[in-house]
Amino acid sequence: MHKIDYNDEIPGLLLIQDFVTQEEETLMIETIDKNQWCGLGISPNPELKRRTQQYGHLFSYRYRKVLEELGPLPEFSGQVVQRIMEHELMPNTPNHLLVNEYNLGQGIMPHTDAPTLFGPAILSLSLLSACVMKFTHVETGHTVDILLPRLSIVVMRGDSRYKYKHSISKDHIETASDGTTIQRDRRVSLTFREIIAWEAPPAENTCNKTCSACSAAVVP
């Protein structure tokens, strides 16, 4: 395990290489690939252009809100969560795990994870492939391309979490700001977050209208 502190370039950004072993990666991927994916037309979140899985809570991209509590994070992520807490990378135990799959040609648009919904630390574990994550300051436009190696975890806190957008390109070959060039492969990332605020729908929700207050009842 090797820590790279990017604080001088992007305040609050930390990367830990070899956060998991290849054996752990294999076991996690085997389990994930047996589980149900959504996105690419599959509910919930059928509109997503990449496949995802969610654990802990269900977030709707369409309604930009949490719809449902799903239960504890899965067993396959237990050791990673334990390591996250041992290294004090998050103030509280994560209660949301988002698995994103990026096949060749897939990326993610520049965004900041919802500041009122998710807590102050956003962590992402890179499995099967490295990628370059672009950080762009929302006011100054300052940009840094950070290499996220396979098996590493990136920790976004402070400015890197709140003042920068992050994105991943669709390119097959990418170059980081330090000049390192990588060839992308299928990448599966595990994003650990804490949901800090959400309203559970009423237990007996019989409303069948589409409205912002109880859309949980009608989301496909």
Ligand X SMILES: O=C(O)CCC(=O)C(=O)O
- Site of interaction with Fe ion (CB under 5 A): 113
Cβ-based nearer residue to Fe ion, 113 or 145: 113
Out of ligand X, Fe ion, none, which partner does residue 129 contact, by CB within 5 to 8 A per kind?
A: none
User: CB 115 → ligand X: shortest distance, Å?
Assistant: 12
145 binds ligand X (CB under 6 A): no
Q: Which of 90, 182, 191, 216 binds ligand X (CB under 6 A)?
A: 191
Cβ-based nearer residue to ligand X, 133 or 203: 133
3-state secondary structure the chain: CEEEECCCCCCCEEEEECCCCHHHHHHHHHHHHHCCCEECCECCCCCCCCCEEEECEEEECCCCEEEEECCCCCHHHHHHHHHHHHCCCCCCCCCEEEEEEECCCCCEEEECCCCCCECCCEEEEEECCCEEEEEEECCCCCEEEEEECCCCEEEECHHHHHCEEEEECCCCEEECCCCCEEECCCEEEEEEECECCCCCCCCCCCCCCCCCCCHHHCCC
How many chain residues are in contact with ligand X, going by CB under 6 A? 9
Near ligand X in 42-101, by CB under 6 A: 98, 100
User: CB 133 → ligand X: shortest distance, Å?
Assistant: 7
Cβ-based nearer residue to ligand X, 106 or 215: 106
User: CB 27 → Fe ion: shortest distance, Å?
Assistant: 25
User: CB 72 → ligand X: shortest distance, Å?
Assistant: 20
Q: Give the total residue count for the chain.
A: 220
Vertex 165 angle, CA 160 and 125, to 5°: 65
Near ligand X in 161-180, by CB under 6 A: 166, 168
113 binds ligand X (CB under 6 A): yes
Cβ-based nearer residue to Fe ion, 134 or 150: 134
Out of ligand X, Fe ion, none, which partner does residue 184 contact, by CB within 5 to 8 A per kind?
A: none
How far from 181 is each of 49, 131, 132, CA to CA, in Å? 26, 10, 9
- The contact set with ligand X (CB under 6 A) reads 98, 100, 108, 113, 124, 166, 168, 189, 191
